[in-house]
């Protein structure tokens, strides 16, 4: 399992996970602003 725990692989997984969650959060942020304003 060492291959999965290498810094670069975790970076790749982290960037991907961060990006997609961030996307949903950012999108939701605007949708809520529309809803309330």
Partner 1 sequence: MHISDGILSFEWVVVWYIVAALFVIIGIREIKNKTRENPAYMPALAIMGAAVFIISVWHFPVPVTGSSSHPVGTPMAAILIGGFPTVVLSTIALVFQLFLAHGGVTTIGANAVSMGIVGTFSGLFTYKVLRKLGISMVLAAGFAGFVGDILTYATTSAELALGLAEESSALTLWKIFMLGFAPTQVPLAVLEFAFTAGVIKYIAEKKPEMLQVQVRNALSVPRVVASLWLAMLGVIVLGAYLGASAGDLGGTDSLVEDTAAKLSNREATTPIALTALGENIAFTAAGLIAGAFVGYYFAALFEARKTSIGDAR
Residues near partner 1 (CB under 8 A) are 2-4, 6-31, 34-35
CB of 22 to partner 1, least distance (A): 2
What is d(CA 29, CA 3) in angstroms, rounded to the nearest whole number? 36
Per-residue tokens: 6:
């290498």
Q: Which residues contact 9 (CB under 8 A, 6 or more apart)?
A: 3
CB of 7 to partner 1, least distance (A): 4
CB of 35 to partner 1, least distance (A): 8
């Amino acid at each position: 399992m060492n291959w999965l725990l290498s810094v670069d692989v975790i970076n790749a997984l982290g960037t991907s996970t961060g990006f997609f969650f961030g996307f949903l959060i950012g999108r939701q942020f605007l949708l809520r602003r529309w809803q309330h304003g």
